[in-house]
Amino acid sequence: MSTSQFPLPERTTTSTGNVVIDGPLPELPTGRAIVPARAYTGTEEFADEQKSVFSSGWVWAGYAHWVAEPGAVHPVTIGGKPLLLVHGEDGRIRVFHNSCRHRGMALTEDPMVVQGRIQCAYHCWSFKLDGTLAAAPYYTRERRSKLDPEVAKRLSLLLVASHTWAGMIFVDLSATDTDPQACADDFAAKLEPVLGRWSHIDFDRLHLAGEKKFEVDANWKLVVENFLDFYHLPFVHPQVGPVTASLDVDDVALHPDIIGGSYPRGAAGKAEKTAKSLPWLGDVPADRLERQDIFCLFPNALVFLEADWFQVIGYHPVAPDHTVEYMAIFVDSSAAGDDFAETRSQLCDVLWEVNEQDMPMLHRLQIGRNSPGSDSTNLVSHWDQITALFQDRVATKAGYR
Ligand code: FES
Ligand SMILES: [Fe+2]
């Protein structure tokens, strides 16, 4: 399947006219899991995936609002590597390896706001927000040691390829070119199918309505698979609307790394989330006003777009059976004021509740992965082609075939 041409062939088989794609699954259940159960429980597999999945290609690292002002510094761990998200004095967000250029000490373990310099606690070397070494006390054992500019440059913090889009910061740990324009070009080329599909949205107008952290007792792959599983909606989240609306969803696979689904009438057919309507995120064409798009930007940005709100679940895998989700909800900046405070909080409450309801499901999915039965599960072609595509992507990247 990894050699498939995208977009994949579509066929319409449902009585409601919904689109099902021809994915990796055959018509008849096979009784063979695409990703073995050990990949959800094993520490070796977890460590290998940190390299094969999270250390190459664009990976969600965090939110731009975590480093909202110049001097804001926020540590994260991606692909097992400590990184620092830094908002520079020039307004740019940069990402560095969180490792002092002297003895390699992590510069901070906690988010903070600094005055122009990030200082290492060990020998007090300090770095400017663009990463260059600003001072290294007693560097030459002299009281007033002067740093040679060439040496200061050589001892700059190590930059990581990064790009900020739609309130999210992405990194590519395998990229050698860290130049911002090169990063922007590469990101645009790789994410083109979704950037094009959402070109009517003005992501510069996003206003954070709320953010919530979820500690999930499950492997990161289950988090994604659950997000891509539209079949469970009427059973686990009955409050979102009638069964017909919950199941009125099309498979969408724009690219091997951009897969999910779309509810053509989801915004209208499901239950109202807020008493008062929110302004649209940009100039939304009439035929998209009712649509809900749900995509996994492989591997770890799970995005949900409606005409008037945008939801992201970014997550960091912590252990084979533990994942930390950071769920954020954005609305248009014209809904940032007090007049929309109640509406924003209603929207957040509805969306938090849905995610909360998934927690026990994820926990039990994880427990099930310790059963030999989990090597002979049966994804079904009518519902699970998108999940199968995700698993196929993992299996190819992590070498489970
Ligand atoms: S390790 Fe950071 S200054 Fe020495
Ligand atoms: Fe769910």
Confidence tier at 38 by pLDDT (50, 70, 90): very high
Is 123 near ligand 1, meaning CB less than 6 Å away? yes
Is 126 near ligand 1, meaning CB less than 6 Å away? no
CATH of domain 10-53+202-398: 3.90.380.10
More confident residue, 67 or 266: 67
DSSP 370: T
Nearest ligand 1 atom to the CA of 120 is 2
Compute, in angstroms, the gap from residue 234 CA to the centroid of ligand 2.
Answer: 9
274 closest CA partner among 346, 188, 185: 346
Phi, then psi, of 380 in degrees rounded to 5:
-110, 145
pLDDT tens across 303-334, in order? Answer: 999 999 999 999 999 999 999 999 999 999 99
Q: Which two tokens stand for residue 144?
A: 């007033």
Distance CA(66)–CA(86), nearest Å, equals 9
Confidence tier at 2 by pLDDT (50, 70, 90): very low
Confidence tier at 4 by pLDDT (50, 70, 90): low
Residue 60 neighbours by CB under 8 Å, 6+ apart:
168, 169, 170, 297, 300, 301, 314, 315
Q: Which two tokens stand for residue 192?
A: 């083109």
Is residue 122 within 8 Å of residue 136, measured between CB atoms? Answer: no
pLDDT of 345 higher than 50:
yes
Mean pLDDT, the chain, whole residue set = 95
Residue 226 region by backbone torsions, left for phi larger than 0, else alpha for psi between -120 and 50, else beta: alpha
Is 102 near ligand 1, meaning CB less than 6 Å away? yes
Is 122 near ligand 1, meaning CB less than 6 Å away? yes
Considering the four listed CATH numbers 2.40.420.20, 1.10.3720.10, 3.40.50.10470, 2.102.10.10, the one that applies to the domain covering 59-190 is 2.102.10.10
* Cis? peptide before 238, omega within 30° of 0: no
Helix axes 385-398 and 220-227, enclosed angle (nearest 10)? 150
Pocket test for ligand 1, best of 101, 103, 139, 155 (most atoms within 8 A of CB): 103
pTM: 0.96
Is residue 244 within 8 Å of residue 284, measured between CB atoms? Answer: no
Compute, in angstroms, the gap from residue 177 CA to the centroid of ligand 1.
Answer: 26
* Per-residue confidence (pLDDT) for residue 145, from 0 to 100: 83
Compute, in angstroms, the gap from residue 81 CA to the centroid of ligand 1.
Answer: 18
pLDDT of 95 higher than 60:
yes
pLDDT tens across 163-205, in order? Answer: 999 999 999 999 999 999 999 999 999 999 999 999 999 999 9
Q: Which two tokens stand for residue 394?
A: 């993992």
pLDDT of 267 higher than 80:
no
Ion ligand 2 nearby residues (CB, 5 A): 358
Q: Domain residues of the chain, as ranges?
A: 10-53+202-398, 59-190
HSE-CB at 171 with a 13 A cutoff on CA atoms is 27
Distance CA(151)–CA(23), nearest Å, equals 54
Nearest ligand 1 atom to the CA of 125 is 3
The angle at the Cα of 332, spanning 331 to 337, to the nearest 5 degrees, equals: 90
Q: Helical H runs in 66-161?
A: 149-154
